[in-house]
Amino acid sequence: MTMPVLRLTGALLILGLAACTNTGKTPASSPAPVMETMTDPATGQPVIAGPVLKGTAPRTPGKSSSASSIGESAGQPAAALNTATREERAEAAAPVRAGGKRLGTTVASLGDPSLPGFWIKTPLVGSESAGRIVNPATGKSANVRLIPLGGPASGGSQVSLPALQMLGVSLTDLPTIEVYGS
């Protein structure tokens, strides 16, 4: 029983291989067209000659990132992003306003550094108002604009770049700060 099955399998294999060969009755496939000269629009460098590929995505010009660039500075130091004026800094550093009510503590992280001024977006307030934030580790404080942020009161807060710098906090730290309303 095994021999007829093996013979049939061998015959089918031979027929399959014979069907794959070019018998001359159909024209042989021509080689793919080759690019003679072309420059890469992103780099301006000549492209190596080779077959023309169809259906590939175009190369997007721009800066590429590699694993070796992870953790390197994006080009601007934090001080260059701090656009607070002298007047804003003086107002933020002014003595503590009387009658401030402690709203609670929150974990602070750097907010959008492109937004100017001294502010904190926090779930500890329901409406925008004036207030103050204090870093209990250093005792430094800053007068800020309190801006509501959705989420539970136990959620974290986003603080402006100049306010974090005034508190003496590293921009990569997540300090617990105190928030006071006026």
The pLDDT of residue 100: 79
Query: Alpha carbon of 149 to those of 78, 102, 124, 152: distances in Å?
Result: 24, 17, 8, 9
We find that the CATH architecture of domain 84-175 is Beta Barrel (2.40)
Mean pLDDT of the chain: 77
Write the pLDDT tens digit of every residue in 162-181: 999 999 998 888 999 999 99
Q: Which of 106, 111, 144, 109 is nearest to 128 (CA)?
A: 144
Sequence-ordered alpha helix ranges (H) in the chain: 2-20, 78-81, 86-92, 161-167
pLDDT greater at residue 138 or residue 90: 138
pLDDT greater at residue 7 or residue 105: 105
Q: Are 167 and 140 in contact (CB under 8 A)?
A: yes
| 117 pLDDT above the threshold of 80 | yes
Separation between Cα atoms, residue 118 and residue 125, nearest integer Å: 16
Write the pLDDT tens digit of every residue in 52-111: 666 655 555 554 555 444 445 555 566 666 667 777 777 767 776 556 799 999 999 999
Per cent of the chain over pLDDT 70 is 61
Structure tokens at 137: 């580790």
